[in-house]
Structure 1
């Protein structure tokens, strides 16, 4: 069977007319109409016939079609009920495709992987809805799922945040969190002209190569991320004032002692801290709290 060019604007318009479908701005529906971008996403995902793929927000199947040609199995999760008959029709030639209708944030992904991808390497590949990008990425990382790689289209400014470094204006709490679990890098920048309908922002495809274990050892992850969020909560504050305002049982003077003991200037701002420095600070604060409780 000849390949369907589901990314063709005329094809998309025809499908929409036949099914009476209308784009939902609320659900952030913007379909790719550039075959080269779709190929780039798939190639950089390094999908083989041994891989299982989870796709989030498949839409009418523009990216899904190419994924099904390459992977051993593709499971797509779509929130919009009205798209179920559309994507099922467009994927009818593939016996390695399964559609789950629902909200990915409510799906038990650990069980899905166990049930659907036994013996396979698992990757997540998607053109993510921009209004919910960060919660989806953090769910995928924080649940420590058995996935090797995440390749997703996101808003360009989100990609800049995820792949930035200390001292950059784009560096923030989400950057530290993502870097804790993965190696993040931007693959390609994507103009808004390759979508239907055209969004107001440009996009980028970003790859997250998942670490088997977090890149650093930290005694208390929850404490570290509390410190990270506090440090970036008010960017203009020094780390002494930002973290010192946390209700974790340590005074500002005790925090100053910890910082100086680690050779960290208390007047530095959180945006200058590497993930390794956040981990060191967290461990020393944890030790201080432990000694106080004895």
Structure 2
């Protein structure tokens, strides 16, 4: 593992009277070799590609992304860390934005960039909403490269009927091809997390694998189907949206060859596309 030989994050934090904040799930990347691999996977040789970095921290990955040729916007919620990033001369070509990524105007960024990628060390407690925001944004990112906890990575590629399968699994299958780039041990970060991290690459499909009449309606259906995992799909949809009565859902399920007691975790992406068409 190549640890950054310039300034360790702990020293940077100490010099500025700061500390890693559990509130934000902060574990700063130390491994510069891993940072370079992540950056290269994100930019993929496309010099000048607009890249949105989420949670740059003390800037290890930020520097690697710039070195790989990204036109970089880095969104950091922590004011102290944003100040550190702005002070670093080697990061002067990056736009540092102090904001919560879930409050950031992602669609405006995507609209300006058109062709873009996203990258970051995602805090565990908001990994899922961040990924949903990226996957449902228009224009879509050409790829997402994210450091996430291993259990979340398993959800991205889970199939119907498995315990890990959920709304995120289905939306990822619709939007992108998921693969694993590398595993990072706790020693690759400061402070050390308690679990391994997995770097995943979500490469946007050139063409979606299914073609529902109303893609937005299908995405809403997927979210609703897993909102109440212990309930049948018909009951879950009625609870989420009273305008979709149970009888209507059971009729739609019958039309795609599914029993009335089917649950969301038993349906594939193709099933959801056909069900959405029968409900709309």
Q: TM-score range by the shorter chain?
A: 0.7 to 0.9
**Cα offset, 1:123, TM superposition:** 1.2
In the alignment, what sits opposite 1:233?
227
Q: Which residue of 1 aligns with 2:126?
A: 132
Is 1:32 matched with 2:29?
Answer: yes
How far, CA to CA, are the matches of 2:257 and 2:21 in structure 1?
Answer: 52
CA distance in 1, matches of 2:49, 2:197: 26
Q: Is the CA contact (8 Å cut-off) linking 2:256 and 2:271 kept in structure 1?
A: no
Q: CA deviation at 1:47?
A: 4.2
Residue aligning to 1:14: 11
Matched, 1:106 2:100: no
Q: Paired residues, what number?
A: 278
SS in 1 for 2:117: strand
TM-score, normalised to structure 1's length? 0.83
Alignment-derived partner of residue 65 in structure 2: 67
List aligned pairs for 1:208-227, cutoff 5 A.
208-211=202-205, 214-227=208-221
Q: 1:107-256 counterparts in 2 under 5 A?
A: 107-113=104-110, 115=112, 117=113, 121-211=115-205, 214-243=208-237, 247-249=241-243, 251-256=245-250
Cα distance change, pair 160–111 in 1 and its aligned pair in 2 (3 A) = same
Cα distance 1:263–1:101, how it changes in 2: closer, same or farther (>3 A)?
A: same
Residue ranges of structure 2 left out of the alignment (5+ in a row)? none
The residue number in structure 2 matching 1:87 is 85
**Which residue is equivalent to 1:291?**
none
Give the aligned partner of residue 271 of structure 1.
265
CA offset digits 1:72-101 (Å, max 9, x no partner): 4211111111112311233x1355322111
Query: Which residue does 1:97 correspond to in 2?
Result: 94
Unmatched 5+ residue regions in structure 1?
287-294
Alpha carbons of 1:199 and 1:254: their partners in 2 closer, same or farther (altered >3 Å)?
same
Find the counterpart in structure 2 of residue 290 from structure 1.
none
Q: CA RMSD in A?
A: 2.7
Q: Deviations over 1:231-277 (max 9, x none)?
A: 33343444455446564545544543332332223344321210110
Structure 2 Cα separation of the partners of residues 230 and 54 of structure 1: 29
| Contact 2:118 2:145 (8 Å CA) reproduced | yes
